[in-house]
Amino acid sequence: MTTCCILGLGYIGLPTAAVLARAGHRVIGVDVNAQVVATVNQGQIHIVEPDLDQAVADAVASGALSAQLTPLPADVFLIAVPPPFRSGSDGIPQPNIDYVLAAARAIARAAARQSRTARIHLTDRHHRAGGPGDRRAFWSKRRPAAYRLLPRAGAARPHPAGTG
């Protein structure tokens, strides 16, 4: 059984957690909001999504899904945190990846406690200027070690609004 640790239990992370739990994986959901963690651990949801309430209730009742404030060692880590925007010096909104970087640091701490190699996936559903090439350029300059871990082909692309 694969253990998946999903950081961010919002509109992307929580449905993903429920689907993975239903598919037979052990899922550890992580959120910085203690109220979200408590709600999920009670088998309830804090967002509006059709049929998600029953899926989460079933996953928690079966023991396949639990939530907490910090990640645990896992086979796969998925980052599904929001990258809010901030106003740039030119007045154009710029991505604020502070939440993504905080999630990556939390994963690094959890991964350091395990002997097996983990896969890390970053969900990219948020729309912003630039595509995968721009993100690669960013990571190659700011975080060369992380850049070397990026796949070389078939980079993830944002889904158009209302899809994926």
Could you tell me which residues come within 8 angstroms of residue 163 by beta carbon, excluding any fewer than 6 positions away?
none
Q: Which domains are present in the chain?
A: 3-129 (3.40.50.720)
User: Residue 163: is its pLDDT beyond 50?
Assistant: no
3-class state of residue 58 by DSSP: helix
- φ, ψ for residue 46, nearest 5 deg: -115, 5
88 against 43, higher pLDDT: 43
| pLDDT at 158 (0 to 100) | 38
Burial pattern 3-40, b for ≥16 Cβ within 10 A else e, equals bbbbbbbeebbbbbbbebbbeebbbbbbbbeeebbebb
145 against 162, higher pLDDT: 145
| pLDDT at 105 (0 to 100) | 87
pTM: 0.68
Q: 108-133 pLDDT, tens per residue?
A: 888 777 766 666 655 555 444 444 45
User: Residue 17: is its pLDDT beyond 60?
Assistant: yes
